[in-house]
Amino acid sequence: MNRSSVQGALVIDPSIAGTFEWADDNRSFFFRHDAPFDSTTHYTARILGTAQDEAGGTLDGNFNRIREDSPVDDFVWTFRFRIANDDFGNPQSLAGTSGLIQGSIRYAFIELDEPAHVLNDYTMLGGSVWYRWSAPQPGGWFTFDLTSGTSFDSLLAVYTGDRLEQLVPVGANDNYGTKQGSRVNFAAAGGTKYSVVVATKEAFGASDQGGPFKLTWYPTPAPGLSGTQFSPKSGVPGAEMTITGTNFTGATSVLFNGTSATFINALTNNIDLRITAVVPPDATSGPITIVTPHGSVTSTASFQVSPPPVAIRLTGANGLEIAWPATSPELETSEDLSASSWIPVTPAPRIEIGQSKLTLPAPTGKRFFRLRTK
């Protein structure tokens, strides 16, 4: 081969500098690149059809024995490099209580026996890369986050276990709220090794649509409230209301002015961002507090507890039973509805499964009753 002609005809895209080492007979050569190839890049190499041998003949890159010159006679091939942490058995190590790592999932694959992360649907799992992180002592709540700097619709999952087919899920997320990026909060045991997987949500097979991402990890911050904080702004005991914010995962208590309420976190992409709570029967007006293992937050606005409806019925010939689905409001009575005529009803009501009940002798004449919140 004509060395100068062949060297001038070799084109690599994206371009990379290097030197040629030729065999003594000029029939073969090595190309020694000066810098490492990028493992996340798909390369195309081309020897142009203008490359000549020592006799002046040109390259027949399409092997049809017809001289057609470049680009028809160009000899073209492509190559890329396997992502180092494509497999569960060869994860990239992460260390410390916080950090940031950049990577790419382009051209990653899934493995035989790999879980269908987050969605339990293999038709929506395009490829994955793996990381291994040891939780620092003494453990605590930690967040792994893809919501900033990720260029594709991601899946994020955390597991324990040493075998791919026997992994135990710890936390997982598809979309964090309205974002395509994912975020997971979980309680980490100090010294435990966790497998963290970043995956693409796309058609089954090689991940040719995924791209670069940034994975950060850090101690889970205390919860915060956002927007209107909660809605509606008032309600009777037993009514549902919604609290909006962030870092609600792991919540242990929702308090209405110090009174514990039953609650549930929202599902799927809003699990960390929204809580639905039921106004407790003994609630009083005041702020709402969210308690988690990683901190607490109290609203700046007050929730107003409204008096619930009162049920009144006659019992027997001379009895009156009054009941209401709450324990905190005070029952008052009046004969004429004037502002100064209202007085508390005695004795105190009995409490039965969150309901207040009171049995009184049936009054003579007119009698009005009302509940007054404390």
In a domain, 84, yes or no: no
Residue 214 shares a structural domain with residue 228: no
Residue 37 shares a structural domain with residue 75: yes
pLDDT class of 209 with cuts at 50, 70, 90: low
In a domain, 86, yes or no: no
- Count of H-run helices and E-run strands, the chain: 1, 30
Judged against a pLDDT cut of 60, whether residue 104 lies above it is answered with yes
d(CA 38, CA 40): 5
Structure-token pair, residue 270:
């809003």
End position of a domain, from candidates 172, 196, 219: 219
Judged against a pLDDT cut of 90, whether residue 315 lies above it is answered with no
Q: Which residues contact 352 (CB under 8 A, 6 or more apart)?
A: none
Average pLDDT over residues 186-190: 98
pLDDT recorded at residue 305? 94
Average pLDDT over residues 123-140: 94
Residue 187 shares a structural domain with residue 96: yes
End position of a domain, from candidates 173, 199, 219: 219
In a domain, 265, yes or no: yes
pLDDT recorded at residue 285? 95
d(CA 233, CA 304): 6
Contact at 8 Å (CB) between 290 and 275? yes
Residue 123 shares a structural domain with residue 230: no
CATH at 195: 2.60.120.1050
- Total tally of structural domains belonging to the chain: 4
Contact at 8 Å (CB) between 338 and 372? no
pLDDT recorded at residue 75? 95
pLDDT recorded at residue 132? 99
Specify the 3-state DSSP secondary structure of 4: helix
Average pLDDT over residues 107-130: 91
Structure-token pair, residue 116:
């269908």
In a domain, 101, yes or no: yes
| Tens of pLDDT, residues 258-303 | 999 999 999 889 999 999 999 999 999 999 999 999 999 999 999 9
- Nearest residue to 223 via CA among 176, 173, 291: 291
Q: What is the pTM of this model?
A: 0.76
Structure-token pair, residue 90:
């060869």
Residue 65 shares a structural domain with residue 180: no
Question: Which residue reads 């990381």 in tokens?
Answer: 131
Q: pLDDT above 70 covers what percent of the chain?
A: 98
Q: pLDDT above 90 covers what percent of the chain?
A: 74
Contact at 8 Å (CB) between 345 and 331? yes
Residue 294 shares a structural domain with residue 319: no
- Nearest residue to 199 via CA among 114, 126, 132, 104: 126
In a domain, 149, yes or no: yes
Specify the 3-state DSSP secondary structure of 353: coil
pLDDT class of 17 with cuts at 50, 70, 90: very high
Q: Which residues contact 315 (CB under 8 A, 6 or more apart)?
A: 321, 359
In a domain, 199, yes or no: yes
Judged against a pLDDT cut of 80, whether residue 343 lies above it is answered with yes
Average pLDDT over residues 126-141: 96
Structure-token pair, residue 245:
């914010």
d(CA 91, CA 222): 30
Residue 234 shares a structural domain with residue 176: no
Specify the 3-state DSSP secondary structure of 53: coil
d(CA 108, CA 129): 7
- Structural domain harbouring 156: 92-219
Burial call 80-94: b when 16+ CB within 10 Å, e when fewer: eeebebbbbeebbeb
pLDDT recorded at residue 367? 87
Specify the 3-state DSSP secondary structure of 331: strand
Judged against a pLDDT cut of 90, whether residue 363 lies above it is answered with no
End position of a domain, from candidates 266, 282, 305: 305
Residue 214 shares a structural domain with residue 103: yes
